[in-house]
Structure 1
């Protein structure tokens, strides 16, 4: 019986306690996952670069000693000491800050995308584990059912209503189910390792998967328009903005750089003369300007930025089409899972009705164990298909949540 959908971070989990269970795992993954930690550090580094570019070029200091002292009217020059500071054109540093800040914004979007993808991966892995355990439980029930049939067959053999071959067939069928059980157990252990590693914890830790594994009665409405503001698309907007700010930096750098400095030259007194300013040191303020006369470089960068913007626009359009395709495919696959669930539910009911008829025949002393095996095999198939349909429903719901939430 289907139940109502409860929507939360845990993604369409049935029941409040179940939602909290998956939400707990997702929260743990978002906190502990090493890839996310690395992306957070990348964002911090990118943010720190804003301070890095908010600086002037290095101040230049120089000193020289005259080996052959040049004579002047007021005395011999002994040495030269200089200091010089270049200053970028007005607004250049602010433009660089804006550019680096836009790159940091792109890094932040990358982190948001990674969080969404991790949530998707954890959710899908969780439902695979739940599905696996559901299938194991179905196999246990079927093995127990076959053991009951085996006892019936042994009793029938004693009274001459069945042969030893019927008993062997039932035992062979049990062996086949045991084989499937062991394969599922190995698959579960493998998936559990992957799940735990996403949470960056011991790979052998147990996973709580005791959830009600059913398809909800009503699927949540899907707002396709929200796809337009998906982080994977917003990233292209941030990239486009970064190119714009890069071009502003480029334009500012075509302007001249100003330089301010000071030269100091100590002068020795002339002992043979008595004059005004005898031995007076020389102090010479200086102003310089650096002009990019050959600016083909900047024109080329502007053209590159223009082409880059066109490239980003095309990439965004392509990504939007890709996401729309993924969303439509996920919606179609989820609807197919619902259809499969409904049909297999009907088939399973009919198979159980047929089983009841066979059991009633046993009360009259007539039973065909070949029919029993056929019906049991059909029941198992329908039950497995039901679990597969529910699993597919939640896997596709996770994709829809990733794209349209």
Structure 2
């Protein structure tokens, strides 16, 4: 442009707009709350991963204890096989009966307290003392046993051998099933799939009395999903404040710098005495301060933004209330399962103790009186089922505890 100051060659303007008071702090608070909500979402995913690790670990414990129980049952069957062979041959059955009693009692002491193998599982050497509660008559009968006179049946031996072969096959399959769980556990931890895993044989949970009340209170305070919804609700409130502040005026401050050059053909003015002069300031650059105010006249946009944020917040509140009710319901369901498992554990422990005594008495009667061998096999199968049910119940209880910890966010 050709101005009095000369020819304009360029122009540079710098303008900074300033929002209404409190806008920047509100934006900062909203961004912080949304970041905290995303962090709680991350915590939820982390807790799910931890639950998968615990669940896989308990499954490994279950498999290892199943192998231990199966081996103990196999030892019982081999002891019974030895007894049946001796009785069939007419030999002295006293040592064989004592061996059966030792094999029957060993899982009770070994499976709970053993840790002699590499995986933390195994059996300890059981003593040959009579089982607790065993009647004195059975002890005297065992001490008086001698030759059975060859009154046993060869079919008893053969039936035992069939069951022994089946158990040995089951043990081989259990060893095969262990490999996928080991690989999954190591991969969940980001380790090499062949890395060794140390398993604890103890399955007893140490929970203080009244833990459920404390857990429920903590659940409503620290559940990641509840905290995430709470942070999002606060962020929606901040968004409503931002929409309100965006409807306020904005002020801008800046500088304008213009570059001029000298223009002689229009800058020389003649006078009657033929003298020439140049206007002051010709060709000088110019710096000018600027200020601007932005007035949001069309306000429906900002009112709609406020209404949208309010609706999001109300939906968030309903979602949070629904999640809280679902969490309380799920917690009570898990708590009922844990209490049911505790009851079953006590029942199965009593049943196992009584079944062990019954099996020992039946073995003694078989060795001395030639009672039904079918009854011994039936009791032995019941004992195996009780022990496996006890193991499965304890593992299920531990998994339920892990679910509670996942809900709470521990």
With the length of structure 2 as denominator, give the TM-score of the two structures. 0.74
Shift in CA distance, 267/184, structure 1 to aligned 2, threshold 3 Å = same
2:324 counterpart residue number: 320
Secondary structure of 2:291's counterpart equals: strand
Q: Over alpha carbons, which structure has the higher Rg?
A: 2
**Pair 1:236-2:229 in alignment:** yes
**SS of residue matched to 1:222:** helix
Counterpart-to-counterpart distance in 2, 1:293 and 1:86: 21
Q: Give the direction of change, closer, same or farther, for the CA distance of 1:104–1:147 in structure 2 (3 Å limit).
A: same
In structure 2, the partner of 1:287 is: 291
- Distance in 2 between the 1:183 and 1:315 partners? 47
- Change in Cα spacing, 1:261 to 1:254, as seen in structure 2 (3 Å) is farther
1:191 & 1:289 partners in 2: Cα distance?
68
Deviation at 1:371, TM superposition (A): 1.7
Match of 1:343 in 2: 347
Measure, in 2, the Cα distance between the counterparts of 1:122 and 1:155: 50
Within 1, Cα distance between the matches of 2:207 and 2:243?
Answer: 58
Supply the distance in 2 between the matched residues of 1:289 and 1:354 (Cα, whole angstroms).
Answer: 96
Counterparts of 1:206 and 1:164, CA distance in 2: 45
2:79 is equivalent to residue 109 of structure 1 = no
Task: Give the 3-state SS of the residue equivalent to 1:79 in structure 2.
Answer: strand
Indicate the SS of the match to 1:276: coil
**Is 1:201 matched up with 2:194?**
no
The change in CA–CA distance for 1:378 and 1:216 in structure 2 (over 3 A counts) is farther
Does the 8 A contact of 2:65 with 2:201 survive in 1? no
Q: Could you tell me which of 367, 375, 382 is aligned with 1:378?
A: 382
List alignment gaps of at least 5 residues for structure 2: 91-149, 270-276
The CA RMSD over aligned residues, in Å, is: 2.4
Partner residue, 1:277 = 280
Distance of aligned partners of 1:121 and 1:242 in 2 relative to their CA distance in 1, 3 Å threshold: same
- Give the superposition deviation at 1:132: 1.8
Q: CA deviation at 1:244?
A: 1.5
- Within 5 Å, which residues of 2 pair with 1:326-405? 326-364=330-368, 366-404=370-408
Aligned counterparts of 1:278 and 1:84: Cα–Cα separation in 2 = 24
1:96 is matched with 27
Q: 5+ residue gaps in structure 1? A: 1-69
| Contact 2:255–2:287 (8 Å) recurs in 1 | no
- The question of whether the paired residues in 1 share the 8 Å contact of 2:87 and 2:367 is answered with no
Instruction: Give the Å deviation of 1:136.
Output: 0.8
After TM superposition, list the pairs within 5 Å mapping 1:81-160 onto structure 2: 81-90=11-20, 91-159=22-90
Q: After superposition, give the CA deviation of every residue in 1:374-394 in whole Å (9 maximum; x if it has no partner).
A: 111000000011111211222
Name the TM-score, length of structure 1 as normaliser.
Answer: 0.75
Aligned pair count? 335
How far 1:365 moved relative to its partner?
5.1
Aligned residue for 1:254? 247
Q: Distance in 1 between matches of 2:5 and 2:64?
A: 100
Structure 2 residue aligned with 1:161: 151
User: Aligned partners of 2:5 and 2:357: how far apart in 1?
Assistant: 123
TM-superposed CA distance for 1:137, in Å, is 0.3
CA contact (8 A) 1:78 1:268 kept: no
1:18 corresponding residue in structure 2? none
**Deviations 1:228-275 (Å, cap 9, x if unpaired)?**
212321221111111112222222222333332304140424253314
Q: CA-to-partner distance for each residue in 1:127-174, whole Å, 9 max, x for gaps?
A: 222222111101001111111212222333345534333223212222
179, 194, 212: which one aligns with 1:222: 212
